[in-house]
Structure 1
Amino acid sequence: MTPLNEPVKLPCGLVFPNRLVKAAMAEALAGSGHVPTPTLLEAYNQWAQGGWGGLLTGNVQVDVDHLGMPHDPALHGEYTGKENNQALVELWSQYANACQQHGTPSIVQLCHPGRQSIRFAGRRGIFGATIAPSAVPMDLGEGIVQRFFSWLVFPPSKEMTQGDIERVTRQFVDAARLMADSGFSGVELHGAHGYLLDQFLNPKTNKRTDAYGGSAENRAKFVVDIIHSIRKVVPEKFAVGIKLNSADHSSSTFEDTMTQIQLLVDAGIDFLEVSGGSYENPKMMGREQSERTVAREAFFIEFATEARKRFPGLVLMLTGGFRTRAGAESAIKQNACDIIGIGRPAAIDPKLPRVLLDENVSEEEAQLVLNKIPMPFLAGLIPMKGVGAGLESKYYADQIKRFAMGLKTILPSAW
C-alpha cells in the first residue's frame, strides 16, 4: 500500500484519513462583502468529494480593515459567542458543512497581512496605514519605478502599539472561536509568506526593542501568546497549527528559527506546515527554485528534514511543488514530513487524490505536472518583484472559480 493512504493523527486527536491535504490557495471568491459566497461553498463542495485527507482553506482575514486581497473572506467585528451571533455562526457553518459534508476534516487558515495589505483591499480606506511590528517599508526593488509601484500598492505601515497588539490578538482568538463554533476541525495561523505573524518572527521586519523584539524568543512572543489564548477558548479536539516560512531564513538566523519552533511546540501546536517566500522574495510561487530542488518536487524539503531531526514528535506538513505520487511518497519515505500539501494541482483537478491514491493507476499516470504560465508581454516590462508570482496566483484562482461554476479547468500551456 502506498504510504500516502496511511492516516495521520494529530496530538489533539483529529485524524486525517490519508496524507494528502489540499493546501491553502487564494480563491478570490468572497466578493465585496468578504463573506463565504455560494461560489466559494461550491468550490469546497467539489474538493470535499475529492478524497483528500484534509482541506486547508484559503486566507480568512481576522480584520476586514486589513485584507491581503480585495475579495478575501474576513471577520467584520468582535465575536462574542454563538448565542449573540447566531446569524454569523450560521453563515460560517455553511462553509464548514460544504468542506466536511463527506467526512473530510477541514482547517481554516487565519491571517492578518500586516504591511502586506494592499492599498485597495480592506475597509480602512485607500490612504489608511497598514500595521506592522516595525515601520519597515516594502522592498519591491531599488529603482524609481519599483519604489513608485511599491508605494502605490502598499501604503506605509505604522509600528503597532501595545494596544494594537492586544487588539489583533483578540481578533485571532475571536476568529478561532467562531470557526470552532461553526463546526470546522481546526485553524492554521498563517505565519509565513511575509504576513503579520511572519513579520514579528523575522528580524528583517521586526526592529522592536520591547518585549516583542530583539531575541528569537521575544520575536515569537506575539505568536505564542495568540496560540495560548486560542487554546483557552476552543474545544480540546480542535486543531491549532501554524504555517511557517523557511525560504527566507539564512544560515545566520537558522538557529533562531529552530528556537522559535521549540516555543511553538511548547505552546501546543498540533502541526507545523513548512512553506516559504513573500512578496519581496516570492519563492512560495515556485518561480525561483533550483533545478535540483524542482527535480525532486518538494521546494522546502531541506528545511523540513532538519526540523524533523530536531523535533521528531512534531507533525510536519510540507507544501510546495508536489506534482506526482512518486515525489510525495519519496518525501514520506525519507521521513521529511507526515502530510503532503498540494496546492495548484488541486486548482486544476479538485479530485486529484482519487488518482494519486489509487494503486491501480500507474506511476506514469499518477501525476499532474504543470507548466509555468506564460508571462504577458507588458507584465514582463514591469521590473518589480512578485509580478510573475502574482499572475500565477491569479491564474489558479481563476481555475478554482471555473470548476466551482461547473466549467472545465484549463492547464497552463507550455512556453
Structure 2
Amino acid sequence: MASLSDSVKLPCGLVFPNRLVKAAMAEMLAGFQNIPTPSLINVYDQWAKGDWGAVLTGNVQVDVNHLGNPFDVALSGEYTDAETNKDLFEKYRKYAEVSQAHGTPTIAQLCHPGRQSPRPAGRRGVFASTIAPSPLPLDMGDGFVQRWLGWFAFPPPREMTQADIDTVTRQFVDAARLMADAGFSGIELHGAHGYLIDQFLNPKSNVRTDAYGGSAANRAKFVLDILQQTRAVVPSHFCIGIKFNSADHTSSSFEDTMTQIGLLADAGIDFIEISGGSYEDPKMFTAGQQQPQPEKSARTAAREAFFLEFAAAVRTRYPSLILMLTGGFRSRAGAHYALSQNACDLVGIGRPAAIDPHFSKLLLDDSIEESEAQLKLNKIPLPFWAKMIPLAAIGAGAESTYYTGQIQRIAKGLKTIVPL
C-alpha cells in the first residue's frame, strides 16, 4: 500500500517529498493593505518547519476590489515584471522564500470570489455589485430572515461582460506570473467553495447562453482559458493545480462533472484537489457534522474523508490524474484509509494544521502508535444568538473564525487552543 512518506512527482516535474499537504485556510493577516505582512510570514515560517509534502497558502485574491474577507492577500493592480513592480515583487519574494526555507514546496492559491464577496470586503464600495457569470444572487434560504441576511451580506451580482471576463482572466494570469517570479513552486486555481471559477463551472450559477454557458465544455471555458494563458507565461516546471468542487454535483450532472475534469486533465493540470461546498451549502466545514456518512467499515477512519466517494469515482475515470483529497482528516488511520481505497495521491490537512503547524511530523513518525497519531477536534459551540438564526453559513463561519484565530495565535507565537 502507498505510504504517507512516499514522494509524489507531478507532471510538471515538481516533487512533493511526502503525501501530506497543508491545505489552504483563511489567515486574515494581510491587514488593510492586503499584502503579505510580517505576521502572515511568521505563520508560514512555522508551517515550513512542519515536514509537509507541500504547503498551500490561503486565498491570494487576484483583484483587491473583490475579496472573500477584508484581510485577504490580494493584488492591487496589474503586475508587469519584477523590475517594474519592485515593491510588490519583494513582498511576495519574501513570502515565498520563508515558506520554502526548509525545502517544502509552497503553492499559492489564487482566487476570485465573484458573487461571494461580502459587502465590506474589497475596495469596490459597500453598495457596488459583485460580478458573476449570471446575475443570480446567493440563495441562503427561503425564509424572510435568510433572504434578508443574504442580501444584507452579499450584494446582488451583475452578469460579467466579455470585457469583464477578459479582465479577470488577465488578473489570474498576472497573479500567476508574480507567484512564479517570486519563487513559489506553483499555483492552485480555486475552483471550489462557490467562488468565481466554480460559479462558471456550475449550471446552478451559470445560465449563460454564450460561449461560456450551456454545455459542460462551455462552462469550463473560463478556467481552461486561464490555464492555457498561464501555461504560456510561467516556467515549464511551475505547478498549476485546481481545487474542484464535488458537493454541488448531483447524479444528473455527474457526467458533466466528469467531462469538465477530463478537459482539465487534457489541458495539462498538475493536480486536482477534491473538496466541496459553498457559502450556500458549506459542506467544506460541516459535511462530517450535518450529514454523517453511514459506516462502511469497522474502522472509524473510513468516515474521516468527507468527499472520498467522489474522489474514488474520479480515479476510476482518470487513473493518471494526481488527486488530492481534503476535508475531515484528523488521523494517520484516516489518511491511510483514503490511500488504501486508491482515492487519492495526496492528503490535504486543514484544521489540525491550524492547531499544530507540525502535525505532519506526528503522522509521519512510525515510532508513534497509530492510536496516538491523531488530533481530536470537537465541534465549535455556537453563541446563543447564532442558534436563533436559521442560516447554515453561521455555523460554518463560527468554525472558520475559530481556526483563523488559532492561525493568528501561531503568528504571535502563542499556544493554540484545542476545541474541547
How many angstroms apart in 2 are the aligned matches of 1:337 and 1:6?
13
User: Structure 2 CA distance, aligned partners of 1:206 and 1:2?
Assistant: 39
Cα distance in 2 between the residues matched to 1:207 and 1:19: 38
1:367 to 2:374 alignment: yes
Q: Partner letter of residue 354 of structure 2?
A: A
Is residue 283–residue 289 contact of structure 1 (8 Å, CA) maintained in 2?
Answer: no
Residue ranges of structure 2 left out of the alignment (5+ in a row): none
Name which of 407, 413, 417 aligns with 1:400.
407
- Provide Cα deviations, 1:55-94, integer angstroms capped at 9, x if missing partner: 0000000000000111000000011112211221111011
The one-letter amino acid of 2:234's match is: V
Alignment-derived partner of residue 280 in structure 1: 280
Question: CA contact under 8 A between 2:19 and 2:345: conserved in structure 1?
Answer: yes
- Of 289, 292, 300, 1:290 maps to 292
> How far apart are 1:2 and its partner, in Å?
7.2
Matching residue of 2:193? 193
4+ runs of 1 displaced by more than 6 Å?
Answer: none
| 1:74 counterpart = 2:74 | yes
Q: CA deviation at 1:289?
A: 3.1
**Across the two proteins, how many residue pairs are aligned to each other?**
413
**Mapped partners of 2:134, 2:210: distance in 1:** 11
The partner residue of 1:341 within 339, 345, 348 is 348
- State the partner residue of 1:412: 419
CA distance in structure 2 between the aligned counterparts of 1:201 and 1:331, rounded to whole angstroms: 26
Contact 1:134 1:208 in 2 (8 A): yes
Partner of 2:43: 43
Contact 1:212/1:220, CA 8 A, preserved across alignment: yes
Q: Distance in 2 between matches of 1:171 and 1:267?
A: 20
Q: Which residue number corresponds to residue 22 of structure 1?
A: 22
Where does 1:204-283 land on structure 2 (aligned, <5 Å)?
204-283=204-283
Partner of 1:55: 55
How far, CA to CA, are the matches of 2:318 and 2:2 in structure 1? 25
TM-superposed deviation, 1:267: 1.0
Match of 1:360, as an amino acid? S
| 1:219-255 deviation line (CA, Å, top 9, x unaligned) | 0000100000000000000000000000110000000
In structure 1, runs of 5+ residues without a counterpart are none
State how far apart, in whole Å, the 1-side matches of 2:113 and 2:410 are.
28
Aligned residue identity for 1:331: A
| Structure 1 residues 367-413: Cα deviation after superposition (integer angstroms, max 9, x where no partner) | 01210101111111111231100110000000001112111100112
- 2:184 is the alignment partner of 1:155: no
1:377 is matched with 384
For the residues of structure 2 that align with 1:344 and 1:156, how far apart are their CA atoms?
A: 31
Identity percentage of aligned residues? 67
Instruction: Find the residue that maps to 1:4 and give its secondary structure.
Output: coil
Letter of the 1:392 partner, please give it.
E
Look up the match of 2:180: 180
CA contact (8 A) 1:110 1:190 kept: yes
| Aligned match of 1:34 | 34
* TM-score scaled by length of structure 2: 0.97
Tell me which moved more, 157-166 or 78-87. Answer: 78-87
- Using structure 1 for the length normalisation, give the TM-score: 0.98
Any idea what the Cα deviations from partners look like across 1:140-162, whole Å, max 9, x if unmatched? Answer: 11111111111110001000000
Q: Please tell me the residue identity of whatever aligns with 1:172.
A: F
- 1:219 aligned partner, one-letter code: R
Match of 2:10 in 1: 10
What is the distance in 2 between the residues matched to 1:375 and 1:412? 12
Q: Distance in 2 between matches of 1:298 and 1:167?
A: 37
- Aligned partners of 2:341, 2:152: CA distance in 1, in Å? 45
Distance in 2 between the 1:17 and 1:88 partners? Answer: 30
Structure 1 partner of 2:93: 93
Q: Of the candidates 289, 302, 307, which is equivalent to residue 309 of structure 2?
A: 302
Residues 39 and 404 in structure 1, CA contact (< 8 A), matched pair in contact too: yes
Q: Deviations over 1:263-312 (max 9, x none)?
A: 11111100000000001011110332324378520000000000001001
Partner of 1:324: 331
Amino acid at match of 1:396: Y
Deviation, 1:97, is 1.0
Query: Structure 2: which amino acid aligns with 1:355?
Result: L
CA contact (8 A) 1:285 1:392 kept: yes
